[in-house]
Amino acid sequence: MTHPIDLADIDPNTATAAWLQAFQSAVSRNDSAAAAALFLPGGHWRDLVSFTWHILTMNGTSEIAAALDRTLPDVRPSNFRIAPNRIAPRLVTRAGTQTIEALIAFETATGRASGVLRLVPDAAGNLVAWVLLTALDEIKDHEERIGPRVATGQAYSREFGGPNWLDYRQKAAAYQDHDPVAIVIGGGQAGLGIAACLGQLGIDTLVIDRHERVGDAWRKRYHSLTLHNEVHINHLPYMPFPPNTPVFIPKDKLANWFESYADAMELNFWTGTELKTGTFDETTGRWEVSLRRQDGSERTLRPRHLIFATGVSAIPIRPDAPGLDEFAGTVMHSGQYATGHAWKGRKALVMGTGNSGHDVAQDLQASGADVTMIQRSTTLIVSLTQAQKVYDMYKEGPALADCDLLATAVPYPVLVKSYQISTAASQAADKELLDGLAARGFRLDKGPPDDTGFQMKYLRRGGGYYFNVGCSDLIVDGSIGLIQYSDIDRFVPEGVQMKDGRIFEAELLVAATGYKNQQEVVRLYLGDEIADRIGPVWGYDEGGEERNMWRRTAQPGLWFTAGGLPHVRIYSKYLALQIKAIEEGLLAPVTTESARIGASKELLDT
């Protein structure tokens, strides 16, 4: 992108204010063509439920004009301005492009909103929008119950001789005389985040989880597990980690924090509870869900919203390898693996070369086992230090909330370019390690098909990469063996037989082979018809947004949330705002009939 002017010579505040004034003038006249003309011809507008009540990206002036034409009469956006009390407009480089970046604020007929504007010169030297993000912050008269709006109802008052706070909490969580408005399935970070956001909007929400304690989804994982990204990007909504939290959080500490979080945020949480079945009644607009409790009892509840927060790690994929049924050793999925001490002095195979596979192999090797990894497909390897660089924006100085807004203002085409740049840099920095792995026969990739690195692999498929915390070095020096799955003929009782006749003996096979798509979780509990109606969950759709995530789906009353802690913190609010809008009659829910017609942009942004 070449520019006839130098952005360094332009005052960011003046340029931002001028663009916002021109945009405000155009949208006030409902002149969508004039508003779209303020964008770069290949510019992007991403909306998080402020204009469209949806999570959508419009690319190019034609799409932008069409979306504005549909939404302006009802949204009536006004008072566009540089956001007060936030990072000031500044000159930065994003995805290799120098741009004036500003945080903005505005109002709509429904609520108060924020956004991000990135300006670049066009071919004629005019400053136009390269990227615009618009995001709803709150619905007027239905704001979050935080800060000066904290509820001061009966449960928080002194009532001598009567029930106290704990009594009210226990009654609310029992659901003996009422149904929750929403049920969240899964009590990990995704379930906690959406429940907290719904709770602060006054939506009666119940979280269910099959484990015995809040946090067990992490607490029960393998003994050595520690998060691979730094604490400063991992805070949950409303409650940041204490300042003494380790940079890389151990899984048990994280699990205990989740337990504290659920208590502090007053979440209604049923542990030891599983979804058995669920059906949706189009007439009443409610689900009928059967829940099985740990004591064997069952409860039937009728919420209006069912939110799957089972993440991208719900149903383990079991390997379907020739002869595996003949293998005489122990076979377990990596989700079942705890520690390697029982395998000291014994031979073990680990199938899969993502994060879990490498961590399990390293733990087994450190416990004294003789470990060989089986690589099924190419894998992206990045050192732990280089992996953190994709979050460098969070170290630039702005507050966490400002950084979160800036991070969402990266439409898919820009995201691809940004990750290509960061991946090339990390590959160059890790060259010695990667060369050593290649010399051992380890098959590497850069994030196919476009060299976009580990982050895009996660966003597209949920895995296929490893942050090196030492296992790669053990492969390079031969401490951990490596064989290719394509060279295996079949499993035999004593291990695996290679196509050249060699046999690798083993007493243990750990299958780090990933998990099924959340669509299959829906199929298991809600049936084929609903699963087929919604389609795959996670991975990008044709519009450059995560499929079915944090927004209305083709099934009425069915929602999904997943992802790492940053995704939870950022997107839970937008999902919660949509549910609140439906409950207050501001947004019509998708119906089965409209879903049958087709879940298009035009349908879902009404």
Exposed / middle / buried, residue 299 (Cβ in 10 Å: 0-12, 13-18, 19+): middle
Q: Which of 209-218, 469-478, 594-603 has the lowest mean pLDDT?
A: 594-603
Instruction: Provide the residue type at 335 as one letter.
Output: G
- Following DSSP, what letter does each residue of 241-309 receive, concatenated? PPTTS-SS-BHHHHHHHHHHHHHHTT-EEESSEEEEEEEEETTTTEEEEEEEETTS-EEEE--SEEEE-
The neighbour count for residue 88, using CB atoms within 10 Å, is 13
- The H-or-E segment that residue 505 falls in is strand 503-505
Q: How far is CA 355 from CA 189, 234, 379, 467, 513, in A?
A: 19, 18, 10, 7, 11
Q: Look at residue 283 and tell me whether its pLDDT is greater than 70.
A: yes
Does domain 177-314+517-604 sit in CATH 3.50.50.60?
yes
CA 453/CA 48 separation, integer angstroms = 26
Q: Can you say how many angstroms the Cα of residue 58 is from the centroid of all Cα atoms in its chain?
A: 21
- Identify the DSSP state of 319: P
**pLDDT tens digit sequence for 432-461:** 999 999 999 999 999 999 999 999 999 998
Average pLDDT score over residue span 584-593: 78
Fold match flag (7-139 vs 324-511): no
> DSSP character for 413?
H
Which strands make up the sheet holding 503-505, listed edge to edge? 488-492, 495-498, 503-505
Whether the pLDDT of residue 470 is over 80: the answer is yes
Domains of the chain, by residue range, sit at: 7-139, 177-314+517-604, 324-511
- Nearest to 135, CA basis, from 119, 112, 118: 112
Q: Is 434 exposed, middle or buried (0-12, 13-18, 19+ CB in 10 A)?
A: buried
Is 505 a residue whose pLDDT tops 90?
A: yes
Reported as a pLDDT band with limits 50, 70 and 90, residue 4 is low
Q: Please report which confidence band the pLDDT of residue 33 belongs to, taking 50, 70 and 90 as the band edges.
A: very high
Kind of pairing, strands 481-484 and 370-375?
A: parallel
336-391: pLDDT as tens digits: 999 999 999 999 999 999 999 999 999 999 999 999 999 999 999 999 999 999 89
Residue type, 176: Q
CATH label, 7-139, candidates 3.30.750.80, 3.60.110.10, 3.40.50.1820, 3.10.450.50: 3.10.450.50
CATH of 324-511, one of 3.40.190.10, 3.50.50.60, 3.40.50.2000, 3.40.228.10: 3.50.50.60
Evaluate if residue 1 carries a pLDDT over 90. Answer: no
* Cα 207 to Cα 165, 460, 560, 565, distances in angstroms: 20, 27, 14, 18
Torsion angles phi and psi, residue 447, rounded to 5: 100, 70
The model's pLDDT over 59-84, given as tens digits with 9 standing for 90+, comes to: 999 999 999 999 999 999 999 999 99
| pLDDT attached to residue 605 | 43
pLDDT score for 158: 74
Q: Are 56 and 47 in contact (CB under 8 A)?
A: yes
Identify whether the C-beta of residue 12 lies closer than 8 Å to the C-beta of residue 90.
Answer: yes
Residue 313's pLDDT is what?
60
pTM: 0.94
Q: Which helix (H) or strand (E) holds 518?
A: helix 518-526
Predicted local confidence at residue 160, as pLDDT? 84
**Residue 591 banded pLDDT, cuts 50, 70, 90:** low
pLDDT at res. 597: 38
Phi–psi pair at 334, nearest 5 degrees: -60, -25
Cα 485 to Cα 212, 443, 497, 506, 604: the distances in Å are: 37, 11, 11, 15, 44
Answer positive or negative: Cα dihedral of 305, 309, 312, 315: negative
330-333: strand order across its sheet = 330-333, 508-511, 347-351, 370-375, 481-484
pLDDT tens by residue, 518-543: 999 999 999 999 999 999 999 999 99
